């Protein structure tokens, strides 16, 4: 019986924990390190996300913010900088993808960093 349940579970599409849409085979996807590797994260602490969801996270937050305050899915989902994106992307089909630009604040932060 367990083998049948395991087989059935393997046939179900994964679900993106950020937007709750299914991650279908062939859909752009990416593993997100809950604690960035640059800040001591490991391969064990990852979640599978749609690529657009993963890009949205890194467009809005620095590695330090992710490591210190946003190192679990619940914290990411509740952060006001992502809630509007999540509400918007939930209306899109599971295979939807679009290029993601960094937010204006993040672009300014990086520009100031290189001065």
pLDDT level of residue 9 (50, 70, 90 thresholds): low
pTM to 2 decimal places: 0.75
pLDDT level of residue 89 (50, 70, 90 thresholds): very high
Nearest-angstrom CA–CA distance, 33 and 41:
7
pLDDT score for 29:
93
Encode pLDDT of 14-45 as tens digits: 999 999 999 999 999 999 998 877 777 666 78
Q: Is 102 helix (H, G, I), strand (E, B) or coil?
A: coil
Residue 79 tokens, joined = 């952060």
Examine the pLDDT at 3 and tell me if it is beyond 90.
no
> Do the beta carbons of residue 19 and residue 89 sit within 8 Å?
yes
Nearest-angstrom CA–CA distance, 115 and 109:
10
pLDDT score for 61:
92
Examine the pLDDT at 100 and tell me if it is beyond 90.
no
Examine the pLDDT at 86 and tell me if it is beyond 80.
yes
Who wins on pLDDT, 115 or 83? 83
- Sequence spans of domains, the chain: 14-113
> Do the beta carbons of residue 60 and residue 82 sit within 8 Å?
yes
């Amino acid at each position: 019986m367990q083998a049948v349940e395991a087989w059935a579970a393997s046939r179900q599409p994964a679900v993106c924990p950020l937007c709750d849409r299914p991650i279908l085979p062939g859909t752009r996807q990416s593993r997100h390190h809950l604690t960035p590797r640059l800040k001591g994260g490991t391969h064990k602490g990852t979640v599978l996300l749609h690529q657009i969801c993963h890009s949205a996270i890194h467009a809005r937050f620095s590695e330090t913010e992710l490591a210190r305050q946003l190192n679990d899915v619940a914290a990411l989902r509740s952060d006001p900088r992502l809630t509007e994106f999540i509400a918007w992307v939930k209306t899109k089909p599971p295979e939807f993808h679009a290029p993601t630009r960094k937010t204006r604040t993040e672009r300014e932060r990086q520009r100031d960093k290189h001065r």
